[in-house]
Amino acid sequence: MKLDGRGIIITGASQGLGAEIAEACVGEGAHVAICARDAEALDAARVRLVAKAAPGQRIVAQPADVSRPDDVRRLFETASAALPRIDGLVNNAGVYGPKGLLEEVDLNDWWRSIEINLLGVAVACQNALPIFRRQSYGKIVNLSGGGATAPLPRISAYAASKAAVVRLTETLAQETKGAGVDVNAIAPGALNTRLLDEVLASGPERVGADFYERSVKQKKQGGSPLERGAALCVYLLSAASDGITGRLISAVWDPWETMASHRNELHGSDVYTLRRIVPADRNLKWD
C-alpha cells in the first residue's frame, strides 16, 4: 500500500481525473479529503470512495471554490480535523475558460480562469506549506498539461495559467529546499473528460480547425487513460519519490516509474523543467 496511512487533499475531485486520483489514493491506503464546487456531485464522489475504502480509512468531502481563500481555508480545517494527518496535496481543480481569439473573449471570463487555475493552486499551497514545514515532510502535485509546454491558440487563459503553474511549482520547490517538501507538476496527457466535451461543443470557429480536428480524433480514439495520470500522482505522493522536486513530468511520455534511480542526476539539472532556449542550444553560432 503505497500511501498507507497518509492523508491526502485533492481539489476538483468530484469527476474526471480528480475522481480517478482520489480512487487511486484510497486504493493505496490513503485517508482522503476531496473538494469541488458542485456539492451534489461531490457527495456522490464521497459515497463512491467510502464504498472502496477499507475499515478505518477516513473519507471527507468539503464543497469549495479554490479561487476563494476562505473556502480553501475551510477545506484545510475540515481535513485537519477529520484526517489523522495531512501528507499530500493534489491541485487538480481547473477550467479551460473562454475559447476564441484574445481580442474576442470576455476578459472577465479570462481572469476567472486565472483565478481558478493559478490562484487556486497558490492559495491551496499557502495553506499546505505551513503544515508540511512543521512536520518536515509533505508532497504537492500540481496539474499542468499541454498548455504549459506549447502555445494553445484560442484557449489563451488556460495556456497562460498552466505555464504559470509550472513556474510556481519550480519556485516553490526552491523555497522549500531542505524542508522535506517535494513540489512537482504533472501533464496527464490528452484526456477524454468534460474539458474535451467543452472543446467539441465550442466548434472549430472558436477553438480553431486544427485543435478541433485533433479533439474529434481524440474523442474517437479514447485519449490518454485517466488511470495513468492517477498512478503518477500516487507515485509523487509516496515515499518512493522522496527527493524528486521542481519537475514537470508527463504521465504518458516520461519514464517516471524509474525516476527515483536518477535522483542525483536530476538534482542541479534542468531536466523536466521549462527553460528559455538560446541559439547555442540549437548549435546556432550567433554573435
Instruction: Give residue for cell 485517508.
Output: 31
Cell output for 184: 512537482
d(CA 140, CA 138): 7
Catalytic residue, candidates 96, 137, 158, 235: 158
CB atoms within 10 A of CB 39: 13
d(CA 8, CA 114): 24
Give the Å distances, CA to CA, from 286 to 233, 276, 281: 42, 16, 11
Give the Å distances, CA to CA, from 135 to 7, 14, 119, 223, 233: 13, 29, 25, 39, 21
Cell output for 61: 468531502
**What are residue 181's DSSP bridge partners?**
138
d(CA 141, CA 214): 27
Enter the DSSP assignment of 260: G
- Concerning whether 158 is annotated as a catalytic residue, the answer is yes
What is the amino acid identity at position 25? C
Q: Are 157 and 108 in contact (CB under 8 A)?
A: no
Instruction: Give residue for cell 503553474.
Output: 165
Sheet containing strand 59-61, edge to edge, reads 59-61, 31-34, 7-10, 88-91, 138-143, 181-187, 248-250
Nearest to 247 by CA among 154, 182, 178: 182
State the burial class of residue 146 (Cβ atoms within 10 Å of its Cβ: 0-12, 13-18, 19+): middle
Catalytic residues: 158
